[in-house]
Amino acid sequence: MKRYGILVWVVAICIGCFGLASYSAAGEVYPSRPIQIIVPFPPGGVADLVARPFATALEKDLKQPVVVVNKTGAGGAVGMQTAAVAKPDGYTLMVALSSISVMPEVDILFNRPPTYKLEDFAPIALLTSDPTILAVRKETPWKTVAEFVADAKRRPNEIKYSSSGVYGTMHVAMELFTHAAGIQLRHIPTAGGGPALTALLGGHVDCSSIGPNVAIPQVKAGALRVLASWGDKRLAALPDVPTLKELGYKDVEFYIWSGFFAPRATPPAAIKVLREATRKAVNTPEFKTAMEKMETPIAYLDADDFQKFWDKDAKRLIEGVRHIGKVQ
Amino acid sequence: MLPLGTHGRPGPGYFPLLLSVLLGVLGLLLFLRGGSSAHFRSIRWEEAKHAAAILACSFLATFGIEKLGYRITMILILGFLFGVVERLKLWLVFVLTIGLSLGSFWVFDSLLRVILPRGGFGF
Amino acid sequence: MGDTFHHLLLGFSTALTATNLFYGFVGCFIGTIVGVLPGVGPLAGISMLLPTTFGLDTTSAIILLAGIYYGAMYGGSTTSILMKIPGEAASVVTCIDGYAMAQKGRAGPALAIAAIGSYIAGTLSVVGLMFLAPPLARFALRFGPPEYVSLLVLGLIVLGYMTGGSVIKNLSMIVLGLLFGMIGIDQMTGYFRFSYGIVALGDGIGIVPVAVGLFGIAEILATAGQSGRPEVTKPRFRDLIPSRQEFRESWWPMGRGTVLGFLIGIIPGSAHIISTFVSYAVERRISKHPEKFGKGAVEGVAGPESANNAASCGALVPMLALGVPTGGIPAVLLASLMVHGINPGPLFIKEQPTVFWGLVASMYVGNVILLLLNLPLVGLFVNFLRIPYRILYPTILMFCVVGVYAVNSSFVDVGIMSVMGVLGYLLRKFDFETAPVVLGVVLAPIIEVSFRQSLAMSDGRYAIFVQRPVSIVFLASAVAMILLAFKPLIRKKRGFRDQLTDAEKSG
């Protein structure tokens, strides 16, 4: 019995020491522990593929392990909420896509308490930015946006398009365009970017607003045709494709961008370190090669510029969601 | 209440309602045919207390894994199951509990790089 | 033909280099471990290793990741057979007859047949991939929402044959599973359904916690406290090898499972688990002794395990031939290719023969490696069962918790697993089958979304289901099967089902 008692004390003291040790470490220079980057999307997706090389590049500068954790669900809301309420000590960060701006508005639309607010996040930097493109099947007769719009006006609600999900990036992008052009298309939501592409290739829908990386190989193989892009400038990979802005549709811009965020209450000292580290990381040759291989252009913007970009972009997206309203 | 939509455009409430009705009908049929099946009393519940203990551990794991941290939760659970429920020899309880908790943590966290939570105590 | 042979030689020369052999081995090994661990499935394993592959050569990277993928299908059957815990979601069906075989002392043969079936299926499906990839992939693309609905209607009818006994009970279980599958965001409109404010439920309750909970936890709950558990004696070598009879009974199910699995795997969006259920149902329907199923019929292991492996290979067909991912795992594999600068599309096979044929050849090699890995381990695994259950079950509980948590770093999943555990326990007590619930959870999103998508496509007209050729074929088959079911009633007054129930009552 006596031996048993002493044993318990020993174990308790050991556990206590462990605990104290981790706590005392927190008072030192940031970063002194491994950092976690939450990615609210499944592995293999755009956010994930940007975050992982980025994390590796950050490790070099911060001299601490930077681990990517996928926390998927609800179109990204689960991961974003986790990051929003995480302890703001600078050890839990997030890489998210432009859909971050959409979710709170959708919650408001459905009279739900918002899962998070845009103000919960402090932007650290914009990493990449890709405009979406309007891809149509090769069997369709439209060669230009003008033909497409004319046809759509002739037979409203007949032309079908696929999206990655209701209020998702592909949906909002398309709606921005249809609203500006005054046309009505039939929306077929699918379970994600992959199924949306499959539906388009299989001929079950006529067109779609997709990200360039997945579309370009199909275009090269002749299965799809690209009519326009939602960008500010023409895409380097598709120099013959006009932007919707050029064609006269003002303010119809949509980017699938990835950004690096921290909880708003993170100490400014930590954020400063992160901004500096990010600036160095995006300029490393390894990160540059990784992005080049994936044909994702780096569009680095530091925190203040990013905040301006984000605000403008968010405004556009929120307007789009309000136009869509509740889907019946 | 979720909108039901129309037959041509089913809303989010359409299928759940359909399935619930179906389940209700099937349940009713089962109930009516209940007379021909084995008696309720013939079900043996002898392991129920044991099962309840395991279940309690499982729920403790659910809530403890992030609040207390993986290792502490596992130590509590395994210690409880090995020591109290199964009443193994003390040294065996100790070895298994500490060994499995810390061992599995090491395998997953360090080797496989799956982040297991460290909880409020940092451990 | 000669062209393919030439390419294959090129492939082998790539796959058999020391580096690629090494990575193939590593992939298969990790895949087996990942498969054995409950909850953690190939998707988790592949995501964990994805970053490490960034620095590797493209062919090596894809060989490694693919190895994990089909390796996990081998490993998944191990815990299913030994402990009735699905190693990964698709192994749920193996839990039924595989575990029954283990209880009868035939764990070794069950594991062996699973390994051999997986090998045959894996190898044959790679042959299919090699020759038929582009045309099959194009066919797969023609599966749109209406085809899914018709196919699943047919599938559900086929599955009605899956278990004998009370049709009503099984139907209720499927409906229950379907209802569970409704939890989460409604894809078509954005409403949250049944999530009660818990955001984590917004994505639905997930197949992994449900499978591990309903089978693994429920099993522990039901058997842990029972006195008089049979002692497992040290197996003799003879007991580890399947008997000649078992071999004879397994060949045809392996073949049928392979074909079924491969075809189902090609269809984008279908889950592997569907192929295992269909294989099980088909084997049971065709068998001359359907009453054996559920009590240790080796066909119930051979068929589904082959289907499993064939489906994982089939899922790669559209990805490699057209650059279209059929599910989460092919999407990650696609991503790993993209990271290396290769954009898979319809021209992938032509433009990257080294990668494609290297992968194909490595799959042949990988299957051999896995067979050689798994067969000798059968003896080791069976000895596992000899650990006293009092020590074993808390360990199992721990692995279940870790495995389920690791999938999405979410304690909510662990909670779902616990709740499902209670449910599974109660269902067993009241003599309900739990496998159909898992199937329902998997099918629910597919059926509902496809149905509503079809109606969205046709703007509300139901005629779309009979306007497309593939859809008509499936619906007609479904009707035919229903009519066939009535035939014995008209002819002999005793249906298949009654014979089955009689045999069960007396046997």
The CATH number of the domain holding residue A296 is 3.40.190.150
SS3 label, residue A243: strand
Beta pairing, strands A186-189 & A160-163: parallel
Domain membership flag for residue A18? no
Chain B touching partners, 3 or more CB pairs below 8 A: A, C
Q: Please answer whether residues C323 and C343 qualify as being in contact, where contact means their C-beta atoms are separated by less than 8 angstroms.
A: yes
Q: Which two tokens stand for residue C219?
A: 């099993």
Q: Distance (Å, rounded) from C-alpha B1 to C-alpha A324?
A: 21
Task: Give the 3-state secondary structure of residue C128.
Answer: helix
Which of B90, B115, B121 lies at the smallest CB-CB distance from A69? B115
Non-local CB neighbours of A86 within 8 Å, separated by 6+ positions: A38, A92, A263
Indicate whether A230 pLDDT > 50: yes
**Mutation test of the interface with chain C: which of A117, A155, A190, A291, choosing the one with the most C Cβ atoms within 10 A?**
A190
A60-72: average pLDDT: 85
In a domain, A24, yes or no: no
Instruction: Give yes or no for a contact between A208 and A163, defined as CB atoms under 8 angstroms apart.
Output: yes
Other CB atoms within a 10 A radius of the CB of residue C223 amount to 17
Taking CA–CA distances from C330, the nearest residue in chain A reads A44
Contacts of C30 (CB under 8 A, 6+ apart): C45, C49, C67, C68, C71
CA angle C258, C279, C247 (to 5 degrees): 65
Q: Give residue A234's Cα distance to chain centre.
A: 21
Euclidean distance between CA atoms B79 and B98, whole angstroms: 8
Looking at the fold, whether A189 and A52 belong to one and the same domain comes out as no
Cα four-point dihedral sign C428, C431, C432, C435? positive
Tell me the mean pLDDT in the region B13-35. 84
Residues of C in contact with B16 (CB under 8 A): 179, 182, 193-194
Q: Is C48 at the interface with chain B, CB within 8 A?
A: yes
Q: Which residues of C touch A214 (CB under 8 A)?
A: 323
Count of alpha carbons within 13 angstroms of residue C89, beta-carbon side: 24
Q: What range does the domain containing C456 cover? A: 2-506
A102 residue type, one letter: V
d(Cα A326, Cα A318) in Å, to the nearest integer? 13
Residue A260 lies in a domain: yes
Tell me the chain A residues in contact with residue C141 when contact means C-beta distances shorter than 8 Å. 198, 201-203
Q: Which amino acid is located at A36 in the chain? A: Q
- A215 SS3 class: helix
The label of the residue with tokens 């998702």 reads A168
Chains that touch C (3 or more CB pairs under 8 A): A, B
B35 CB neighbour count, 10 Å cutoff = 6
- Three-class SS state of A240: coil
Q: What is the pLDDT of residues C463-502, one digit of tens each?
A: 888 888 888 888 888 888 777 766 665 655 555 566 666 6
A4 at the B interface (CB within 8 A)? yes
CB-based contact B48 C188, cutoff 8 Å: no
The answer to whether residue A221 sits within a structural domain is yes
Residue B123 has pLDDT above 70, yes or no: no
- State the SS3 of C405-441: HHHHCCHHHHHHHHHHHHHHHHHHHCCCCCHHHHHHH
CATH number reported for the structural domain that contains residue A168 in this entry: 3.40.190.10
- Report the residue from B3, B94, B121 with minimal CB separation from A19: B121
Residue C141 forms contact with A (CB below 8 Å):
yes
Domain assignment of residue A111, yes or no: yes
Q: Which chains touch A (3 or more CB pairs under 8 A)?
A: B, C
Q: Is C134 on the interface with A (CB under 8 A)?
A: no
Say yes or no: C445 contacts chain B, CB-CB below 8 A.
no
Taking only the tens of pLDDT, chain C with its 507 residues reads 667 788 888 888 888 888 888 888 888 888 888 888 877 778 878 877 887 787 788 888 888 988 888 888 888 888 888 888 887 777 888 888 888 888 888 888 888 888 889 999 989 998 888 888 888 888 888 888 888 888 888 877 777 666 655 677 777 888 898 889 888 878 778 777 887 767 777 777 888 889 889 988 888 888 876 655 555 555 666 677 788 888 888 889 999 999 999 988 888 877 788 888 888 888 887 888 877 887 888 888 999 999 989 998 888 888 888 888 877 788 888 888 887 878 777 888 888 888 888 888 888 888 888 888 888 877 777 777 777 788 888 888 888 888 888 877 788 889 999 999 999 998 888 878 888 888 888 888 888 888 888 888 887 788 888 888 888 888 888 888 777 766 665 655 555 566 666 666 654
For the four alpha carbons of A184, A185, A191 and A192, in that order, the dihedral sign comes to negative
Let me know if residue A251 belongs to a domain: no
Query: d(Cα C438, Cα B117) in Å, to the nearest integer?
Result: 29
Q: Are residues A224 and A263 in the same domain?
A: no
Residues shown for chain B: 123
Closest chain B CA to residue C432: B30
CA distance C149 to C456: 13
Q: CA of B80: which chain C residue's CA is closest?
A: C394
Q: Across the strands, what pairs with A262? A: A122
3-state secondary structure at position A204: coil
> CB of B42 within 8 Å of any CB in chain C?
no
Cβ proximity of A324 and A172 under 8 Å = yes
Instruction: In whole angstroms, give the CA distance from residue B97 to residue B101.
Output: 6
Residue A69 near residue A37, CB atoms below 8 Å? yes
Element (H, E) at A125: strand A121-131
Query: What's the total number of domains in chain A?
Result: 2
Cα(C17)–Cα(C354) distance, rounded to whole angstroms? 13
Beta carbons of B112 and B81 less than 8 angstroms apart: no
Could you tell me if residue A49 is inside a domain? yes
Residues A189, C263 contacting (CB under 8 angstroms)? no
So what's the pLDDT on residue C344? 78
Is B48's CB within 8 Å of C391's CB? no
Residues of B within 8 A of A36 (CB-CB) are 115
Q: For the whole model, what pTM was predicted?
A: 0.82
The pLDDT value given to residue C183: 87
Q: How many domains does chain C have?
A: 1
Tell me what pLDDT residue A293 has. 80
Which single residue is written with the structure tokens 């899956």? C162
Q: What is the pLDDT of residue A228?
A: 92
Residue listed under structure tokens 């970053």: C51
Q: Which residues contact A151 (CB under 8 A, 6 or more apart)?
A: A141, A142, A159
E strand or H helix at A151, and its extent? helix A145-154
- Tabulate helix, strand, coil % of chain B (nearest 5): 70, 0, 30
Contact (CB, 8 A) for C148 and C446 = yes
Are the C-beta atoms of C199 and C68 separated by less than 8 Å?
A: no
User: Binning pLDDT at 50, 70 and 90, where does residue B47 land?
Assistant: confident
Are C178 and B65 an interchain contact pair (Cβ–Cβ within 8 Å)? Answer: no
Residue C463, classified by CB atoms within 10 Å of its CB into exposed (0-12), middle (13-18) or buried (19+), is exposed
Dist CA C503 CA C287 (whole Å): 14
C470 versus B2: which is more confidently predicted? Answer: C470
Separation between Cα atoms, residue C289 and residue C293, nearest integer Å: 8
The C-alpha atoms of residue C42 and residue C398 are separated, in whole angstroms, by 20
pLDDT at position B5 over 80: no
Place of tokens 């006009």: A242
Q: Using the 8-state DSSP alphabet, how is residue B10 labeled?
A: B
pLDDT at position A21: 47
Q: Which residues does chain A have within 8 Å of residue C351's beta carbon, measured at their own beta carbons?
A: none
Strands of A224-229's sheet in order across = A186-189, A160-163, A207-210, A133-137, A224-229
In chain B, % of residues over pLDDT 90:
0
Contact C397 B59 (CB under 8 A): no
Range(s) of the domain holding residue A110: 33-131+256-324
Asked if residue A260 has pLDDT above 90, the reply is yes
Q: How far is CA A265 from CA A85, A87, A90, A116, C169, in A?
A: 10, 9, 9, 14, 54
What crossing angle do the helices spanning C58-83 and C299-314 adopt, rounded to 10°? 160
The rounded distance, in Å, linking the Cα atoms of A269 and C46 is: 36
Residues A1-33 have pLDDT tens digits of 445 555 555 555 555 545 444 444 445 678 888
Mean pLDDT value of segment A161-179: 89
A247 within domain boundaries: no
Structure tokens belonging to residue C164: 């004998």
The arithmetic mean of pLDDT across residues B43-66, rounded, is 84
A147 and A113, same domain (yes or no):
no
Question: In the predicted model, is pLDDT for residue A109 greater than 70?
Answer: yes
